[in-house]
Chain A
């Protein structure tokens, strides 16, 4: 099953390779990152990283972009990482105009700014910002998943377009309908991101209701080497098998480039319904309705943010400073390590060194500050050392 993505890519390469001689333009690109995550042991907590993907982690992606004509293109991407082989992209674009593109297939629905850079070859630190984290934050099992783990890949259709009002102002939009996030139960606490991306059920939807969303963005060229982008995103859908429990994700993003300095910032918030008709499933007392019965649902809110500055200091050395964090508010399961309100703030100082064009080393140190953790832990350190190749 897990080799299907690779087989699909290989078959596509095999089928389309002869067509290259007939002027269909193929471009094969890939990324490989190997990262080592180390979190020092402490006497009070001998294994702070026990619930995350520490040690060595490898991420590999192979992408085939096919420009069929000036109006049509296709992309297929196979990924190998912590979840094994997966299809990260398998879609076709058809452009009627710059302002109207139709994408169908399996893709990352447009949301926020980081989605475009989720590939480890395209972001300068080893790991992702906390609101987009997918398994690298410490104490992951205690805290739960991030606001919207990236890459979020789904099946569906997306309309998008871009328009330049003049050389200095670009407007773009995207609107999608996709299968949506999942939980393979009708009594969920939260979205199950593993079920949402698993190939086990053949990437099919778990309910019959599509999720909808989109993004609008504005990019202004303030000076010859100064750009500013602002964007707003939203996703809404139902995630349980009966399509009764809903989630809403909202996001705002900012990108500023001045000379060679990049500043990126995003804020994400997700409100997720939880099945609530059983007090025994919760740590805190649920609020009863007027007739004394329990409501069918309550909700939790997760929000997160990051601010990141990338500063080249030499031609082959960038320094990166990032502040990110995440909070959770809402009832918990009995025995949870989280209070009703809990959160984490993290500072990261990192560097990226270019050994050779397309081959880089990444190193970073991270300091976590926790609050609302019942085990009394309030600080952690983590260190990353990795190598990434783009080809």
Chain B
């Protein structure tokens, strides 16, 4: 039993030492976008991991608009029409940040 506990604690410490989650670190985002990111993280992780939208190669604002509209209509998405502007604000910024030559912001790469 003691071995199992030691192994469990070791694994936890190892995980804690190297934390790269599916999402972004909100502390690294512009403060004005943090509420939008929180909304995105809450709404867009019900059916899939955040890596799905964050790793996609969508780059145009128009494509994000159509993409989010399609997701909003999924059963039980919980993404109301009022949520859409905030989601698009974050996703449009995220796409631009990924493309930026300075290597991305907030773990966007």
Residues in chain A within 8 A of chain B (CB atoms):
23, 25, 27, 29, 65, 67, 70, 73, 95, 98, 101, 110, 113, 116-117, 119, 121-122, 160-162, 164, 166-168, 170, 172, 174, 215, 217, 219, 221, 225, 227, 229, 231, 255, 257, 262, 313-317, 353-358, 360, 390-391
Contact = CB atoms under 8 A, between A and B. Distances in A.
Contacts of A98: 72-73
Interface in B6-31: 12, 15-16, 18-23, 25
B51 A314 contact: no
B20 A356 contact: yes
Contacts of B69: 70
Interface in B57-76: 57-58, 60, 62-63, 65-67, 69-70, 72-76
23 contacts: A25-B60, A25-B63, A25-B66, A67-B67, A116-B47, A121-B48, A161-B73, A162-B72, A164-B80, A225-B42, A227-B46, A229-B78, A231-B75, A255-B76, A257-B46, A314-B12, A314-B15, A314-B19, A315-B23, A357-B21, A357-B22, A358-B22, A390-B48
A317 B49 contact: no
A258 to B, nearest CB: 11
Given A29-B52, A354-B21, A162 B58 contact: no
A215 B75 CA distance: 9
Contact of A162 (B25, B56, B77): B77
B70 A67 contact: yes
A354 B20 contact: yes
B47 A27 contact: no
A316 B15 contact: yes
Nearest to B8: A351
Contacts of B20: 315-316, 354-357
Contacts of B77: 162, 170, 219
Given A221-B78, A391-B55, A67 B66 contact: yes
A217 B76 contact: yes
B98 to A, nearest CB: 12
A152 B83 CA distance: 32
B54 interface: yes
B12 A73 contact: no
A117 B48 contact: yes
A317 B83 CA distance: 28
Interface string B69-106: 11011111110111100000000000000000000000
A225 B42 CA distance: 7
Interface residues of B, number: 43
A101 B47 contact: no
Given A110-B75, A172-B76, A174-B75, 8 more contacts: A67-B66, A70-B65, A98-B72, A116-B74, A162-B72, A167-B82, A170-B80, A217-B75
Interface of B: 12, 15-16, 18-23, 25, 42, 46-52, 54-58, 60, 62-63, 65-67, 69-70, 72-78, 80-83, 107
A27 B56 contact: yes
B63 A67 contact: yes
A390 B55 contact: yes
A164 B81 contact: yes
A317 B70 contact: no
Contact of B78 (A67, A166, A227, A316): A227
A101 B73 contact: yes
Contacts of A160: 75
A174 B63 CA distance: 26
A391 B107 CA distance: 17
Contacts of B19: 314-316
A313 B19 CA distance: 11
B13 to A, nearest CB: 10
A224 to B, nearest CB: 8
Contacts of A29: 52, 56
B85 to A, nearest CB: 12
Contacts of A391: 55
Contacts of B81: 164
Contacts of A217: 75-76
A25 B63 CA distance: 6
B75 A122 contact: no
Contacts of A172: 75-76
Contacts of A255: 46, 76
Contact of B16 (A27, A314, A354): A314
Contacts of B66: 25, 67, 70, 73
A162 B81 CA distance: 11
